[in-house]
Amino acid sequence: MPTLTKLYSMEEAALHNTPDDCWVVVDGKIYDVTKYLEDHPGGADVLLEATGKDATEEFDDAGHSKSAKELMQDYFIGELDPTPEIPEMEVFRKEQDTGFASKLMDNVVQYWAIPAAVIGISAVVAILYARRK
Interaction site with ligand HEM (CB under 6 A): 24, 26, 31, 33, 40-42, 46-47, 50, 55, 58-59, 62, 64-65, 67-68, 71-72, 75
Q: Provide the 10 A C-beta neighbour count for residue 79.
A: 15
Q: Rg of the Cα trace of the chain?
A: 36
* Residue of minimal Cβ distance to ligand HEM: 42
Least distance from ligand HEM to the Cβ atom of residue 64, Å: 4
Q: Which of 84, 83, 81, 85 is nearest to 30 (CA)?
A: 81
8 or 59, CB closer to ligand HEM? Answer: 59
12 or 62, CB closer to ligand HEM? Answer: 62
Least distance from ligand HEM to the Cβ atom of residue 94, Å: 50
- First-to-last CA distance in the chain? 100
41 or 99, CB closer to ligand HEM? Answer: 41
Least distance from ligand HEM to the Cβ atom of residue 60, Å: 9
Q: Provide the 10 A C-beta neighbour count for residue 83.
A: 7
Least distance from ligand HEM to the Cβ atom of residue 96, Å: 54
CA 118, 120, 125, 127 dihedral sign is positive
Beta strands in the chain (DSSP E): 7-8, 17-18, 21-26, 29-32, 76-80
60 or 97, CB closer to ligand HEM? Answer: 60
